[in-house]
Amino acid sequence: MEENNIRMTFPSMFNETLRKFGKNNAYGFVGEEPKTWETVNIEIQSIIAFLEKNGICPGDKVAVLSSNMPNWGATFFSITFMGAVVVPILPDFSNTEVGNVLEHSGAKAIFISASLIQRIEGFKSEFLKTTILIEDFSLISSEPDFSEYDPTAKPLKKYEVKEDDLASIIYTSGTTGRSKGVMLTHKNITFNALKGKVIQPMDEKDRFLSVLPLSHTYENTLGLILPMLCGCCVYYLRKPPTPAVLLPALAQIKPTVMLTVPLIIEKIYFNKIMPTFRESFILNLLYKIVFFRKILNNAAGKKLIATFGGNLKFYGIGGAKLNKSVEKFLIEAKFPYAIGYGLTETAPLLAGANPSKSVFESTGPKIEGIELIIHNPDKKTGEGEIWAKGPNIMKGYYKESEMTKEVLTPDGWFKTGDLGTLDSNNNLFIKGRLKNMILSSSGENIYPEEIESIINNFRFVVESLVVQQKGKLVALVHINMEELEKRYQDIRQDMSKQFDDKVEEVLNELQLYVNTHVNKFSQIQKVVLHPVPFQKTATLKIKRFLYT
């Protein structure tokens, strides 16, 4: 594609895809016949006509609250092609959060999937006039003089969309509390998707299997816009991606590309791969010897690639820090993983590498066409806040000029709030969030994410959170009680007190294990059992603000 001659807007890019790949498959549910790009285009035109008749004009806000499906993409493109602004809402937002987003954005219409209608029950707003069921575009409710959807209708007007026009306002759930509406333009998102294509070239033969919410900027840019630019086909699941749903889908679709978060591959490693090595006395011994560990990991990697359908060439991991042991396994397993780094405010990608160039514990170098620096680096460690500048940086936070000024400098630098370092090859290494960093009594910087990575390697641990309480480092730990009970079932049958003692013993062992793997400033003074899973964001990061 001669990108230089095509404007960075969704309609311009889509028309180019339509010209080249119109008869190719575009979107489908697993196990069902996909729609072609030509079919999707007919749908887009009819939805634009439908929105016109229901009073939507360029600049109006239209919300989408839906699980992933082929109609999600058609809806997104319809709204943005006519110069309106899409407001994607995360499906796991609570009723209150959904109401806040609708109120704050002033959305005039909402497309909603049947499973999420209860999220807007009782919601009233002076702006919201039209509610549409996304599965078939039927009207759920509308102001008087509404118009029904006609799949053969054509738009009455022609729309001219500019690169710097607002395309979407994405409300982040974030890990720090209150959601902010990130304003992204057509150019912000299109530029970012094009640079994703530079990192990993793709074409119309590639197949995506989508498992992350399309309302999140990571999946939105790289799992919706990027495949559209390349004419790839994207497949969606009708049910949540549990192993029972995912495994047959992988076998059928044989995806070449998947975008995920660390928790997915970490669960596979800790729950499926490690137990096979641990449960055999001989394998357990051999696994502790580097030479044999590499052989065993390589064999496990072949099985893992086969489980993913056998054709995977790009397994993207983003949204949070990947566990060190898991990454070491992926390298030795020759699994085609790639780690990227970015934020909603940067549409999202700032750094990334393709699987052949992955560097251990790094997110790779900055993407092409942007500037990325470590601001005010520490003279000893080289650590500092990551700042970025380029065509992918947001316009600002919607209706929040003061909050925008806090993160955007007058000359266009975006302060990420993340701490990192750059090596001699300009590979970026993330240390953690600036807000999460704990300053020890002796003035040392402590990164809780690094300690948590060690804790999560310990047997029985599912997830953890390191916080500071009364000047002491405390680890809140959620453990796999089922696995613990299986290991000590004879005690469980005897009496619960003995089992509770065993839990206490495991926590004490954990504290000793962690403290022998960290420097003296990062040692844990107390381990506390957290009986239930931690609450998480869309990219499965723990919502720290709830626990600190």
pLDDT given for residue 436 in this prediction? 86
276 vs 491 pLDDT, higher one? 276
Q: What is the arithmetic mean of pLDDT over 410-435?
A: 94
- Torsion 107-109-112-116 (CA) sign: positive
Percent of the chain with pLDDT over 90: 73
CA nearest to 187, candidates 209, 169, 164: 164
Q: What is the arithmetic mean of pLDDT over 469-480?
A: 90
Residue with tokens 């997915």, as numbered in its chain: 264
Residue 482's pLDDT band (boundaries 50, 70, 90)? confident
Residue 439's pLDDT band (boundaries 50, 70, 90)? confident
Residue 405's pLDDT band (boundaries 50, 70, 90)? very high
Tokens of 210: 């989508």
Measured in whole angstroms, how far is the alpha carbon of residue 262 from the centre of its chain?
A: 9
Q: Where are the beta strands (DSSP E) in 240-289?
A: 257-260
Residue 484's pLDDT band (boundaries 50, 70, 90)? confident
Tokens of 381: 């460690």
CA torsion, ordered 74, 77, 83, 87, to nearest 10 deg: 90
**What is the rounded distance in angstroms from the CA atom of residue 148 to the CA atom of residue 142?**
10
Measured in residues, the chain has a length of: 548
Give the list of residues 6+ apart from residue 183 with CB closer than 8 angstroms, or none. Answer: 166, 168, 169, 394, 395, 396, 397, 398
How far apart, in Å, are the Cα atoms of 413 and each of 398, 416, 463, 497? 18, 9, 34, 57
Whether residue 441 has pLDDT greater than 80? no
Whether residue 175 has pLDDT greater than 80? no
**What is the rounded distance in angstroms from the CA atom of residue 425 to the CA atom of residue 306?**
33
CATH no. for 3-204+215-222: 3.40.50.12780
Of 151-165, 261-275, 437-451, the range with the highest mean pLDDT is 151-165
Element at 233 (helix H, strand E): strand 233-236
How far apart, in Å, are the Cα atoms of 160 and each of 2, 165, 242, 392? 21, 10, 43, 21
Q: What is the arithmetic mean of pLDDT over 129-156?
A: 90
499 vs 400 pLDDT, higher one? 400
pLDDT given for residue 271 in this prediction? 86
Could you write out the DSSP letters of every residue in 384-445?
Answer: EEEEEESTTS-SEETT-HHHHHHHB-TTS-EEEEEEEEE-TT--EEEEEETTT-EE-TTS-E
CATH no. for 233-391+405-433: 3.40.50.12780
Residue 226's pLDDT band (boundaries 50, 70, 90)? very high
How do residues 11-65 score in pLDDT, each as one tens digit?
Answer: 999 999 999 999 999 999 999 999 999 999 999 999 999 999 999 999 999 999 9
Tokens of 357: 């160039």
Could you write out the DSSP letters of every residue in 519-548?
Answer: -GGG--SEEEE--SPPPB-TT--B-GGGT-
Choices 3.30.300.30, 3.40.50.720, 1.20.120.450, 3.40.50.300: CATH for 453-546: 3.30.300.30
pLDDT given for residue 300 in this prediction? 96
Residue 3's pLDDT band (boundaries 50, 70, 90)? very low
pLDDT given for residue 485 in this prediction? 77
How do residues 61-105 score in pLDDT, each as one tens digit?
Answer: 999 999 999 999 999 999 999 999 999 999 988 888 899 999 999
Residue 106's pLDDT band (boundaries 50, 70, 90)? very high
pLDDT given for residue 398 in this prediction? 96
Residue 2's pLDDT band (boundaries 50, 70, 90)? very low
pLDDT given for residue 440 in this prediction? 73
Same fold, 3-204+215-222 and 233-391+405-433: yes
Whether residue 249 has pLDDT greater than 90? yes
Whether residue 1 has pLDDT greater than 50? no
Whether residue 5 has pLDDT greater than 80? no
Whether residue 178 has pLDDT greater than 80? no
**What is the rounded distance in angstroms from the CA atom of residue 127 to the CA atom of residue 405?**
28
Whether residue 494 has pLDDT greater than 70? no
pLDDT given for residue 442 in this prediction? 64
Which letter does DSSP use for residue 30 in this model? T
**What is the rounded distance in angstroms from the CA atom of residue 243 to the CA atom of residue 238?**
14
Q: Are the beta carbons of 407 and 237 closer than 8 angstroms?
A: no
Whether residue 310 has pLDDT greater than 50? yes
Residue 496's pLDDT band (boundaries 50, 70, 90)? low
pLDDT given for residue 489 in this prediction? 65
Residue 394's pLDDT band (boundaries 50, 70, 90)? very high
Q: Interior CA angle at 387 toward 326 and 540, to 5°?
A: 35
Neighbours of 314 (CB within 10 A): 21
Q: Are the beta carbons of 139 and 149 closer than 8 angstroms?
A: yes
- Please list the alpha-helical segments (H only) found in 214-254: 217-220, 226-230, 243-253
According to DSSP, the β-strands at 109-112 and 130-133 are parallel
CA atoms within 13 A on the CB side of 193: 28
Q: Are the beta carbons of 102 and 63 closer than 8 angstroms?
A: yes
Cis peptide before 241 (omega within 30 of 0): no
How far apart, in Å, are the Cα atoms of 72 and each of 135, 303, 424, 548? 9, 33, 43, 36
**What is the rounded distance in angstroms from the CA atom of residue 214 to the CA atom of residue 236?**
10
Gyration radius from the chain CA atoms: 24
Residue 428's pLDDT band (boundaries 50, 70, 90)? very high
* Range name among 227-236, 320-329, 495-504 with the lowest pLDDT average: 495-504
Whether residue 492 has pLDDT greater than 70? no
Percent of the chain with pLDDT over 70: 95
How far apart, in Å, are the Cα atoms of 207 and each of 212, 228, 233? 15, 11, 5
Q: Domain map of the chain by residue range?
A: 3-204+215-222, 233-391+405-433, 453-546
pLDDT given for residue 497 in this prediction? 66
